[in-house]
Protein backbone atom coordinates (compact mmCIF):
# COMPACT_ATOMS: atom_id res chain seq x y z
CA UNK A 1 0.00 0.00 0.00
CA UNK A 2 1.39 3.40 -0.95
CA UNK A 3 0.54 6.47 1.15
CA UNK A 4 1.27 10.04 0.03
CA UNK A 5 1.19 12.90 2.57
CA UNK A 6 1.26 16.43 1.12
CA UNK A 7 1.87 19.35 3.46
CA UNK A 8 1.80 23.01 2.51
CA UNK A 9 4.77 24.09 4.64
CA UNK A 10 7.78 22.45 6.26
CA UNK A 11 6.41 21.20 9.67
CA UNK A 12 2.75 20.67 8.59
CA UNK A 13 3.16 16.92 8.10
CA UNK A 14 4.67 16.68 11.59
CA UNK A 15 1.97 18.76 13.31
CA UNK A 16 -1.13 17.45 11.55
CA UNK A 17 -0.39 13.99 10.07
CA UNK A 18 2.61 12.47 11.84
CA UNK A 19 0.85 9.99 14.14
CA UNK A 20 -1.22 8.32 11.43
CA UNK A 21 1.83 8.13 9.17
CA UNK A 22 3.68 6.31 11.99
CA UNK A 23 0.83 3.78 12.13
CA UNK A 24 1.15 3.22 8.37
CA UNK A 25 4.92 2.97 8.67
CA UNK A 26 4.57 0.30 11.35
CA UNK A 27 2.29 -1.60 8.99
CA UNK A 28 5.17 -1.43 6.47
CA UNK A 29 3.22 0.66 3.99
CA UNK A 30 5.30 2.73 1.60
CA UNK A 31 5.34 6.38 2.74
CA UNK A 32 5.86 9.31 0.35
CA UNK A 33 6.08 12.87 1.64
CA UNK A 34 5.77 16.15 -0.26
CA UNK A 35 6.40 19.62 1.16
CA UNK A 36 4.83 22.07 -1.25
CA UNK A 37 6.18 25.53 -0.39
CA UNK A 38 9.66 26.69 0.51
CA UNK A 39 8.58 27.95 3.94
CA UNK A 40 10.55 31.14 3.44
CA UNK A 41 8.07 33.32 5.36
CA UNK A 42 7.49 31.19 8.47
CA UNK A 43 8.61 31.95 12.04
CA UNK A 44 11.95 33.64 12.57
CA UNK A 45 13.29 35.53 9.58
CA UNK A 46 16.70 34.39 8.36
CA UNK A 47 18.46 35.13 5.09
CA UNK A 48 18.49 31.43 4.16
CA UNK A 49 15.35 30.35 6.00
CA UNK A 50 14.14 28.10 3.22
CA UNK A 51 17.35 26.03 3.31
CA UNK A 52 17.33 25.90 7.12
CA UNK A 53 13.74 24.65 7.09
CA UNK A 54 14.57 21.96 4.54
CA UNK A 55 17.28 20.62 6.80
CA UNK A 56 14.94 20.74 9.81
CA UNK A 57 12.25 18.88 7.86
CA UNK A 58 14.58 16.14 6.64
CA UNK A 59 15.68 15.55 10.25
CA UNK A 60 12.12 15.70 11.57
CA UNK A 61 10.73 13.19 9.08
CA UNK A 62 13.66 10.80 8.95
CA UNK A 63 11.75 7.94 10.60
CA UNK A 64 9.07 8.10 7.89
CA UNK A 65 10.81 8.88 4.59
CA UNK A 66 12.93 11.46 2.78
CA UNK A 67 10.54 14.30 1.87
CA UNK A 68 10.39 15.87 -1.58
CA UNK A 69 10.37 19.67 -1.72
CA UNK A 70 8.45 21.41 -4.50
CA UNK A 71 9.79 24.85 -3.52
CA UNK A 72 6.62 26.72 -4.44
CA UNK A 73 6.46 30.25 -2.97
CA UNK A 74 5.38 30.46 0.68
CA UNK A 75 1.96 32.10 1.20
CA UNK A 76 1.51 32.42 -2.57
CA UNK A 77 0.12 29.03 -3.57
CA UNK A 78 -2.40 29.77 -6.29
CA UNK A 79 -5.11 28.16 -8.38
CA UNK A 80 -2.91 28.52 -11.42
CA UNK A 81 -1.80 26.15 -14.13
CA UNK A 82 1.84 26.15 -13.15
CA UNK A 83 1.27 25.14 -9.50
CA UNK A 84 -1.40 22.64 -10.53
CA UNK A 85 0.90 20.96 -13.08
CA UNK A 86 3.87 20.74 -10.70
CA UNK A 87 1.63 18.97 -8.18
CA UNK A 88 -0.10 16.82 -10.78
CA UNK A 89 3.19 15.57 -12.21
CA UNK A 90 4.47 14.59 -8.78
CA UNK A 91 1.22 12.90 -7.64
CA UNK A 92 0.90 10.95 -10.90
CA UNK A 93 4.54 9.87 -10.67
CA UNK A 94 3.98 8.47 -7.16
CA UNK A 95 0.50 7.11 -7.97
CA UNK A 96 -0.53 6.50 -4.33
CA UNK A 97 -3.32 4.34 -2.93
CA UNK A 98 -4.23 7.15 -0.52
CA UNK A 99 -3.42 10.86 -0.23
CA UNK A 100 -3.41 12.72 3.08
CA UNK A 101 -3.49 16.51 2.89
CA UNK A 102 -5.00 19.66 4.40
CA UNK A 103 -8.71 20.43 4.65
CA UNK A 104 -10.19 23.02 2.31
CA UNK A 105 -11.56 25.15 5.16
CA UNK A 106 -8.29 25.51 7.07
CA UNK A 107 -6.94 28.80 8.40
CA UNK A 108 -4.01 29.35 6.03
CA UNK A 109 -4.53 30.22 2.37
CA UNK A 110 -1.75 27.82 1.33
CA UNK A 111 -3.53 24.97 3.17
CA UNK A 112 -6.84 25.83 1.48
CA UNK A 113 -5.38 26.24 -2.00
CA UNK A 114 -3.30 23.06 -1.72
CA UNK A 115 -6.33 21.11 -0.55
CA UNK A 116 -8.40 22.21 -3.53
CA UNK A 117 -5.60 21.65 -6.03
CA UNK A 118 -4.94 18.14 -4.70
CA UNK A 119 -8.68 17.39 -4.70
CA UNK A 120 -9.03 18.55 -8.31
CA UNK A 121 -5.95 16.65 -9.45
CA UNK A 122 -6.95 13.46 -7.66
CA UNK A 123 -10.42 13.38 -9.18
CA UNK A 124 -11.48 9.75 -9.45
CA UNK A 125 -7.89 8.46 -9.38
CA UNK A 126 -6.91 8.80 -5.72
CA UNK A 127 -8.91 8.86 -2.47
CA UNK A 128 -8.09 11.71 -0.06
CA UNK A 129 -8.11 11.83 3.71
CA UNK A 130 -8.14 15.42 5.01
CA UNK A 131 -6.20 16.18 8.17
CA UNK A 132 -7.26 18.36 11.11
CA UNK A 133 -7.46 22.14 10.72
CA UNK A 134 -5.65 24.54 13.03
CA UNK A 135 -7.35 24.03 16.42
CA UNK A 136 -10.09 22.00 14.75
CA UNK A 137 -12.05 25.03 13.52
CA UNK A 138 -14.47 24.28 10.65
CA UNK A 139 -13.59 20.61 10.93
CA UNK A 140 -15.95 17.75 11.63
CA UNK A 141 -13.96 14.50 11.51
CA UNK A 142 -15.29 11.07 10.65
CA UNK A 143 -12.13 9.07 11.34
CA UNK A 144 -10.07 8.94 14.54
CA UNK A 145 -6.78 7.11 15.03
CA UNK A 146 -5.14 6.33 18.35
CA UNK A 147 -1.60 7.72 18.09
CA UNK A 148 -0.66 7.43 21.79
CA UNK A 149 2.12 4.99 20.97
CA UNK A 150 3.75 7.56 18.69
CA UNK A 151 2.96 10.84 20.44
CA UNK A 152 6.41 11.23 22.01
CA UNK A 153 8.00 10.72 18.59
CA UNK A 154 5.56 13.23 17.11
CA UNK A 155 6.62 15.83 19.68
CA UNK A 156 10.30 15.16 18.93
CA UNK A 157 9.64 15.48 15.20
CA UNK A 158 7.98 18.88 15.68
CA UNK A 159 10.80 20.04 17.96
CA UNK A 160 13.27 19.69 15.06
CA UNK A 161 11.83 22.88 13.61
CA UNK A 162 14.01 25.17 15.69
CA UNK A 163 13.48 28.14 13.39
CA UNK A 164 9.73 28.09 14.14
CA UNK A 165 9.70 28.34 17.96
CA UNK A 166 8.38 24.76 17.86
CA UNK A 167 7.27 24.29 21.49
CA UNK A 168 4.07 26.25 20.64
CA UNK A 169 3.23 23.62 18.01
CA UNK A 170 3.96 20.77 20.43
CA UNK A 171 1.45 22.39 22.81
CA UNK A 172 -1.02 22.75 19.96
CA UNK A 173 -0.65 19.05 19.04
CA UNK A 174 -1.07 18.11 22.70
CA UNK A 175 -4.31 20.10 22.92
CA UNK A 176 -5.79 18.87 19.65
CA UNK A 177 -4.77 15.23 19.97
CA UNK A 178 -5.89 15.01 23.64
CA UNK A 179 -9.24 16.56 22.76
CA UNK A 180 -9.79 14.18 19.84
CA UNK A 181 -8.88 11.25 22.07
CA UNK A 182 -11.32 12.41 24.75
CA UNK A 183 -14.02 12.55 22.07
CA UNK A 184 -13.47 8.78 21.70
CA UNK A 185 -13.77 8.36 25.48
CA UNK A 186 -10.20 7.10 25.60
CA UNK A 187 -8.21 7.30 28.83
CA UNK A 188 -6.77 10.62 30.01
CA UNK A 189 -3.22 10.83 28.72
CA UNK A 190 -3.95 9.19 25.39
CA UNK A 191 -3.86 10.91 22.01
CA UNK A 192 -5.74 10.68 18.73
CA UNK A 193 -5.49 12.35 15.33
CA UNK A 194 -8.77 13.12 13.57
CA UNK A 195 -9.43 13.10 9.82
CA UNK A 196 -12.24 13.67 7.38
CA UNK A 197 -12.95 11.45 4.40
CA UNK A 198 -15.46 12.64 1.80
CA UNK A 199 -16.53 9.72 -0.32
CA UNK A 200 -16.70 10.22 -4.07
CA UNK A 201 -16.83 7.88 -7.03
CA UNK A 202 -15.31 5.30 -6.98
CA UNK A 203 -13.99 5.82 -3.45
CA UNK A 204 -17.07 5.31 -1.36
CA UNK A 205 -15.31 3.26 1.29
CA UNK A 206 -11.60 3.24 2.15
CA UNK A 207 -11.84 1.22 5.36
CA UNK A 208 -9.59 -1.49 3.98
CA UNK A 209 -6.75 1.02 3.61
CA UNK A 210 -7.19 2.62 7.03
CA UNK A 211 -6.10 1.23 10.39
CA UNK A 212 -8.96 0.59 12.79
CA UNK A 213 -7.37 1.10 16.15
CA UNK A 214 -9.92 3.09 18.16
CA UNK A 215 -11.81 1.00 20.66
CA UNK A 216 -15.39 1.94 21.46
CA UNK A 217 -15.54 2.58 25.19
CA UNK A 218 -18.95 2.61 26.77
CA UNK A 219 -19.86 5.64 28.84
CA UNK A 220 -19.81 5.48 32.66
CA UNK A 221 -19.18 1.74 32.99
CA UNK A 222 -15.83 1.62 34.73
CA UNK A 223 -13.86 4.72 35.78
CA UNK A 224 -10.53 3.09 34.97
CA UNK A 225 -11.75 2.27 31.49
CA UNK A 226 -12.27 5.47 29.52
CA UNK A 227 -12.24 9.25 29.97
CA UNK A 228 -15.76 9.24 31.49
Neighbouring C-beta atoms of residue 213, cutoff 10 Å = 14
Nearer CB in complex with Zn ion: 8/192: 8
Nearer CB in complex with Zn ion: 9/155: 9
Query: Contact 157/60 with Cβ under 8 angstroms?
Result: yes
Could you tell me where the beta strands, DSSP code E, fall in the chain? Answer: 2-7, 30-37, 68-72, 98-101, 128-131, 143-146, 192-197
- Indicate the DSSP class of residue 165: -
Nearer CB in complex with Zn ion: 38/146: 38
3, 12, 177, 181: which one contacts Zn ion (CB under 5 A)? 12
Q: How far is the CB of 12 from Zn ion (least distance, A)?
A: 4
6, 9, 16, 54: which one contacts Zn ion (CB under 5 A)? 9
Count of residues that interact with Zn ion, criterion CB under 5 A: 3
161 binds Zn ion (CB under 5 A): no
Q: How far is the CB of 108 from Zn ion (least distance, A)?
A: 5
60 binds Zn ion (CB under 5 A): no
Distance CA 179, CA 147 (A): 13
Nearer CB in complex with Zn ion: 10/19: 10
Query: Contact 28/123 with Cβ under 8 angstroms?
Result: no
Taking contact as CB under 5 A, which single stretch among the options 4-12, 25-33, 121-129, 151-159 is the one that binds Zn ion?
4-12
Dihedral sign, Cα of residue 140, residue 154, residue 7, residue 11? positive
Q: Which residues bind Zn ion (CB under 5 A)?
A: 8-9, 12
Amino acid sequence: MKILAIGAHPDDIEIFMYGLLCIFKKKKYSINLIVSTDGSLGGTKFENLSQIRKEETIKALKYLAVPEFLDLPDSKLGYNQSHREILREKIDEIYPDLIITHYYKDYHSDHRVLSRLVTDISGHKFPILYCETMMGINFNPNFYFDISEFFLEKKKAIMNHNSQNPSRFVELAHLMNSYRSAQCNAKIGSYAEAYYFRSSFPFTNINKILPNNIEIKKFDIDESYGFL
